[in-house]
Structure 1
Amino acid sequence: MSSSPRFADLDNVRDHTFDYIICGGGTAGLTLAARLSEDPTVSVLVLEAGKANLNDPAIMVPGAYLRQFGNPQYDWAFMTTPQEHCDGKQFMWSRGKSLGGSSAMNFMSYMRPSAGDINAWEELGNPGWNWSNFFEYSKRGEKFTPPTTEQTSLYRHTFSAEHHGVTGELDVGFPSSIMVGEVKLQETLHNAGVKKLMDGCGGDVNGAWMAALTIDPKTRNRSYATTAFYLPNADRPNLQVLLEAHVSRLRFPKPTTSVSAEEVKAEGVEFLFNGKTHVVSCKREVILCAGALKSPQILELSGIGSTDHLTSLGIAPKVCLPGVGENAQEHSLFGTSFELDPSFNWDTYDKLMDPTRAATEMALFLEKQQGLFTMGLATLSYIPLQTISAEAKSLIYAHRSKLECDVKDGKISEGLWEQYQIQLRNLETPSGVDIEYTVFPAFFTFRSKPEPDKAYMTILSVLNHPFSRGSVHAASADCLAQPIIDPHYFEDDFDMKLMIEALTFLRVLRNTEPWKSIIAKEVDPGPAVQTEQEMRTYIKEGLSTIYHTCGTCSMLPREKGGVVDPKLKVYGTSNVRVVDLSIVPLHVAAHPQALVYGIAEQAAAIITQEYSK
């Protein structure tokens, strides 16, 4: 690893030619760049809009999660359109704008989706994208370290060695400390009928467990795409990374007609650097790894998308591909906060609200890797609707009936109905999970305010398989303008009904031991919120993204709204691929960090095999 990492200068890039140009130096982009540049005979360029932000405590320190959010040094800070079914509210969607992308600012959870969620992609028309293949690819870059005897004793960590890779570059392990309340919640979930899961990395996520994190077991720092896949390879002469380079569009030959009847070939990329436009050329491919909010925008700015939308923006269409930016799916959450019994001595992030204490704790971490900033978010639980709700079967039956009527009335396309059938099947299966509970060890709701010197615990209820479908589109021909992000929250009311069931079950947990004995009171929404309408209002008020958007460049058949084929190549092009979470056609019940690394590994294998023939 280079002691002083090398980054490209503009003169190393502009007007040069590379075999591969990767647009976006994030989770997928840096992984893919590392794998492709293993071949010393090819040249790889990564264009990254953000800064390096190396060795920055806001990134590296586990407990400093929220210091990046809303800060333009680290965060794109996208905004959605006003949401019709959330009383016109707009939502900020944070995404990583550092080298490493969102792997530099996420909450570090490391798990894999269920085998069924991955196999669904193959069922939707993508041969080779199944659990068996994905599992092997996703272990390739993992370097797993088991918990110590002390960690296991204190925090009840469990794992299955066969579910992990040990020879990769990305450190995966367990935090030095966990809030004791999380251990109590695990016991409570099991007592309430939730399955005890050994490890959420082996294709079964039905249950509750203490999850691993992307953390270096020696330094206790975050492990992410930059530390795992770029810094160890920064001295490769065939790998260049240009920072603060904002991709504006892909360059294609000028067509003789407005839309090419044949596949178009990208000649290179235009990008902004210090306010000026520059060009770089490619021999083989341009690969978009800009994430589910930027990759569709770049395609549209390049003339690939709905011809009507492109024409309205004054962009000359190159490829008619109306699926670009559609089929957006997002995990959403709301919080329920609880005041903890003061007779216990709780260590929570609430103590960091005091600036003096926060500075002391940060110094303690930086000097000795101890204190509150070592604390990780470990509790994950994925639960079938049938486990938490006595009304599950009637709710699912009613929703299936409604959707079948909508299909007959022509309100749902054939492609979307195929997705919905898989979602319904998952709900109807007793082991099919949809509701997630995870923990934030502090006050993390918005209706009330925390009281000084009190300790809190917030349970985040997460919707994993939404039926609502949104969109992400370019707002103008200006690459610096934010895209139009419209998640269509709660357009399908079944999503809201699932959230209500999640809140109702939390109150069952509230009265289940051992959690019952450590909770002083429910703060938000509080006991005054009881009726369905009151719950709806609260959920809308407290709704938030969990930063897991997918689907905007879906890997589906073209006639069913697809943007990329199973080789991840954009339809209508001969040398443009997309490799990021946007290609996922149907969302998964998982925090998707391991998923994105796995997609990049499989993409690297596909590309390498294609050029080795």
Structure 2
Amino acid sequence: MDIWDYIIIGAGSAGSVLAERLSADGRARVLVVEAGGTDRRPDIRVPIGYGLTFHGKSVNWRMHSEPDPELNGRRMYWPRGKGLGGSSSINAMVYARGLPGDYEDWASAGNPGWGAADVAQVYARVERRIHADGTRTGNGPLWVSDRSPEFHPLGRHYIDAIRALGLPEGDTVTGEGAGPYCTTTRKGWRHSAADAFLRPAMKRPNLRVITGAEVLGLMLEGRRATGIRYRRGGQIMTAECRGEVILSAGAVKSPQLLQVSGIGPGDLLQRMGLPVVLDAPGVGGALQDHLAVTYTYRCEEPTLNQVMGSRKGQVMAALRYALFRDGPFSLSVNQMGGLVRSRPDLAQADMQLYFNPLSYSTVYRDKRPLLRPDPWPGFIISFNPCRPTSRGRIDIASPDPTAQPAIRPNSLSTARDLDDMVAGGRLIAQLMEAEPLRKLAVAAHGFSPVGQQDDAILADARDRAGTVYHPCGTCRMAPQEAGGVVDPTLRVHGMDRLRVVDASIFPNITSANTNAPVIMAAMRAADLILSGA
């Protein structure tokens, strides 16, 4: 039997970074175990394909939350990446670090070395910024591309409305301000964490990546991790580790694997008939996510609906992509947005905005119909509060490690989150009443916050708000006495040779999209591991 120096569970955003860094010296033997399969498929590689992977069974865990009481008992769909690159292979490719204050809060939560200045140095090593004029900043492995010259011209109305309200424009990658979103694309292809980190490293003889292998649990000797059990091709297999086992299975699967291995809330484990190796109530707790409300408007100016919604438009876009690797098929539809303040007296931005030159208001079962948009010119504008205070949980509902755990977001369970939902709706109303968007929009398609009372805006949010797929915090980095699961080196409190490295370790959710912070956290974790911390 092979014995490994490092076993990494999950080949997603964090696992890909760890695999590359920990195998770089050529001496350490590194095993990566991934439940999904290859990322070399057109629906992943071609950026517009995320409309297909959003529900694709072979690349997506396709999870659902439990009924959410404050959202009128609705169950939310939770797509999570399954395969090389994880969610970085199926997401909308928006790359944003969040605000410096996010990381100051990480450090203040008892995590030295994770402040804004610390993580900025790590981000600089991750990124290769490709600017709109073709110039580059940085020499990191991950391409972060400004494709704004190719964006649909409808976005100019959004920027004009931002200016009319006196809101700041800015670099949407590094901090506050509105503008075009940068995406993880390279020369017209998606550039996932697997593309940037894992695939170059897979040529090394000391790194092995096993796909189609679902991890069933940790092998433990007392409170020391010694390996893993996994199923592949109908067979149960084991892998032993003389060094460290690293959980990078994501904010849902990492706490689930800890719990089925006997590390979690003792009363829950006992109810499930599992031995309690370590009573750790924080495992699965502190779940945080961004909750957005989307508004759809008709307009007379052509939008991407007229391209994606016609056979001729799709053929022309496909030909353009095949010949030049540009055009709508090479882009995200999340083209404009940014972090802004809903009130000028706030200390930092509290809302993330999105402006998409495409609308798809009809619901198609198990599809995200980017290629079947509304038959009329339309656009979407939406918001999510940056730093929700509601906290949920993810807990096993069965001792079966392959069963979906119970996801309880507990959305809108605090007064502040309710106030933020109203403030976000009010901000969208102000934007839509500004002359540039007021002239653009012919009519709202469905509910609009313009002219509405606070109660109506909140009632609409309860009816329609949905996740933007940024779950985190379920193995929170904080002192044990504060309910933390991992310490500042990402070692699991009370366990030996066991770490967690993924979005589950976030002490608090970052203000924007979470993929960039996950990649940064994995790069920093690799530094800590290699330094012997």
Q: How high is the TM-score relative to the length of structure 1?
A: 0.82
Once the two structures are superposed, the pairs formed by residues 531-570 of structure 1 within 5 Å of their partners are 531-570=453-492
Quick check: 1:275 aligned with 2:234? yes
Give the 3-state SS of the residue equivalent to 1:585 in structure 2: coil
CA distance in 2, matches of 1:475, 1:121: 30
Kindly state the Cα deviation for residue 528 of structure 1 after the two structures are TM-superposed. Answer: 9.2
Q: Check whether the contact 2:264–2:280 (CA below 8 A) recurs between aligned residues.
A: yes
Task: Indicate which of 210, 214, 218 corresponds to 2:180.
Answer: 210
Please report the RMSD computed on the Cα atoms of aligned residues, expressed in angstroms.
Answer: 2.2
Quick check: 1:585 aligned with 2:507? yes
Give the 3-state SS of the residue equivalent to 1:180 in structure 2: coil
Corresponding position of 1:390: none
Quick check: 1:386 aligned with 2:343? yes
Task: Indicate which of 171, 174, 193 corresponds to 1:225.
Answer: 193
Give the 3-state SS of the residue equivalent to 1:49 in structure 2: coil
Give the 3-state SS of the residue equivalent to 1:437 in structure 2: strand
Give the 3-state SS of the residue equivalent to 1:269 in structure 2: strand
Corresponding position of 2:212: 244
CA distance in 1, matches of 2:471, 2:103: 16
In the TM superposition, what whole-angstrom CA distance separates every residue of 1:343-402 from its partner, at most 9, and x where no partner exists? x3x241464244564355334313332432134333122122323xxxxxxxxxxxxxxx
Task: Indicate which of 233, 245, 249 corresponds to 1:290.
Answer: 249
Query: Any stretches of 5+ residues in structure 1 without a counterpart?
Result: 1-14, 150-158, 256-263, 388-428
Corresponding position of 1:39: 25
Amino acid at match of 1:61: V
CA distance in 2, matches of 1:311, 1:275: 28
Q: Check whether the contact 1:139–1:598 (CA below 8 A) recurs between aligned residues.
A: no
Corresponding position of 1:194: 167
Task: Indicate which of 116, 137, 143 corresponds to 2:128.
Answer: 143
Q: Check whether the contact 2:397–2:404 (CA below 8 A) recurs between aligned residues.
A: yes
Task: Indicate which of 358, 380, 388 corresponds to 2:314.
Answer: 358
Kindly state the Cα deviation for residue 564 of structure 1 after the two structures are TM-superposed. Answer: 0.1
CA distance in 1, matches of 2:306, 2:467: 22
CA distance in 2, matches of 1:349, 1:237: 48
Larger Rg: 1
In the TM superposition, what whole-angstrom CA distance separates every residue of 1:160-197 from its partner, at most 9, and x where no partner exists? x8xx5x21211111226212122220121121021122
Corresponding position of 1:417: none
CA distance in 2, matches of 1:451, 1:174: 25
CA distance in 2, matches of 1:528, 1:371: 33
Give the 3-state SS of the residue equivalent to 1:495 in structure 2: helix
Once the two structures are superposed, the pairs formed by residues 478-489 of structure 1 within 5 Å of their partners are 478-489=400-411
Give the 3-state SS of the residue equivalent to 2:21 in structure 1: helix
Query: Any stretches of 5+ residues in structure 2 without a counterpart?
Result: none
In the TM superposition, what whole-angstrom CA distance separates every residue of 1:32-71 from its partner, at most 9, and x where no partner exists? 11000001110100001111131x2211222332211122
Kindly state the Cα deviation for residue 444 of structure 1 after the two structures are TM-superposed. Answer: 4.1
CA distance in 1, matches of 2:373, 2:519: 41
Corresponding position of 1:10: none
Quick check: 1:29 aligned with 2:20? no
Give the 3-state SS of the residue equivalent to 1:266 in structure 2: strand
Amino acid at match of 2:142: L
Q: Check whether the contact 1:44–1:240 (CA below 8 A) recurs between aligned residues.
A: yes
Task: Indicate which of 158, 162, 169 corresponds to 1:185.
Answer: 158
Give the 3-state SS of the residue equivalent to 1:459 in structure 2: strand
Corresponding position of 1:309: 268
Q: Check whether the contact 2:293–2:384 (CA below 8 A) recurs between aligned residues.
A: yes
Structure 1 residues 110 and 451 mapped into 2: Cα distance closer, same or farther (>3 Å)? closer
Amino acid at match of 1:24: G
CA distance in 1, matches of 2:413, 2:330: 40
Corresponding position of 1:234: 202
Amino acid at match of 2:446: D
CA distance in 2, matches of 1:322, 1:487: 17
Give the 3-state SS of the residue equivalent to 2:189 in structure 1: coil
CA distance in 1, matches of 2:496, 2:311: 55
Task: Indicate which of 321, 325, 345 corresponds to 1:369.
Answer: 325
In the TM superposition, what whole-angstrom CA distance separates every residue of 1:49-98 from its partner, at most 9, and x where no partner exists? 111131x2211222332211122111111100011111111001111112
Corresponding position of 1:502: 424
Kindly state the Cα deviation for residue 275 of structure 1 after the two structures are TM-superposed. Answer: 2.5
Q: Check whether the contact 1:186–1:208 (CA below 8 A) recurs between aligned residues.
A: yes
Kindly state the Cα deviation for residue 135 of structure 1 after the two structures are TM-superposed. Answer: 0.7
Once the two structures are superposed, the pairs formed by residues 83-98 of structure 1 within 5 Å of their partners are 83-98=68-83
Q: Check whether the contact 1:304–1:321 (CA below 8 A) recurs between aligned residues.
A: yes
Kindly state the Cα deviation for residue 540 of structure 1 after the two structures are TM-superposed. Answer: 2.1
In the TM superposition, what whole-angstrom CA distance separates every residue of 1:227-278 from its partner, at most 9, and x where no partner exists? 111222221000010001101100112x4xxxxxxxx111100011122211
Give the 3-state SS of the residue equivalent to 1:605 in structure 2: helix
Corresponding position of 1:475: 397
CA distance in 2, matches of 1:354, 1:291: 38
Quick check: 1:323 aligned with 2:291? no
Corresponding position of 1:465: 387
CA distance in 1, matches of 2:331, 2:126: 25
Corresponding position of 2:353: 437
Q: Check whether the contact 2:303–2:358 (CA below 8 A) recurs between aligned residues.
A: no
In the TM superposition, what whole-angstrom CA distance separates every residue of 1:309-366 from its partner, at most 9, and x where no partner exists? 11111111111111000000001111011112x2x3x241464244564355334313
Corresponding position of 2:376: 454
CA distance in 2, matches of 1:268, 1:212: 39
Once the two structures are superposed, the pairs formed by residues 416-427 of structure 1 within 5 Å of their partners are none
Amino acid at match of 2:166: G
Q: Check whether the contact 2:361–2:373 (CA below 8 A) recurs between aligned residues.
A: no
Kindly state the Cα deviation for residue 574 of structure 1 after the two structures are TM-superposed. Answer: 1.2
Structure 1 residues 201 and 512 mapped into 2: Cα distance closer, same or farther (>3 Å)? same
Corresponding position of 1:16: 2
Kindly state the Cα deviation for residue 553 of structure 1 after the two structures are TM-superposed. Answer: 0.2
Structure 1 residues 318 and 289 mapped into 2: Cα distance closer, same or farther (>3 Å)? same
CA distance in 2, matches of 1:446, 1:188: 27
Q: How high is the TM-score relative to the length of structure 2?
A: 0.94
Quick check: 1:173 aligned with 2:145? yes
Kindly state the Cα deviation for residue 608 of structure 1 after the two structures are TM-superposed. Answer: 0.2
CA distance in 2, matches of 1:531, 1:147: 41
- Between the two proteins, the alignment pairs up a number of residues equal to 525
CA distance in 2, matches of 1:110, 1:528: 30
Amino acid at match of 2:285: E
CA distance in 1, matches of 2:373, 2:510: 37
CA distance in 2, matches of 1:138, 1:303: 35
Q: Check whether the contact 2:101–2:116 (CA below 8 A) recurs between aligned residues.
A: yes
Give the 3-state SS of the residue equivalent to 2:236 in structure 1: strand
Q: Check whether the contact 1:59–1:105 (CA below 8 A) recurs between aligned residues.
A: yes
In the TM superposition, what whole-angstrom CA distance separates every residue of 1:502-542 from its partner, at most 9, and x where no partner exists? 11222221121322222212222148982333322321222
Q: Percent identity among equivalent residues?
A: 30
CA distance in 1, matches of 2:166, 2:405: 43
Give the 3-state SS of the residue equivalent to 2:350 in structure 1: strand
Q: Check whether the contact 1:384–1:432 (CA below 8 A) recurs between aligned residues.
A: yes
Q: Check whether the contact 2:45–2:189 (CA below 8 A) recurs between aligned residues.
A: yes
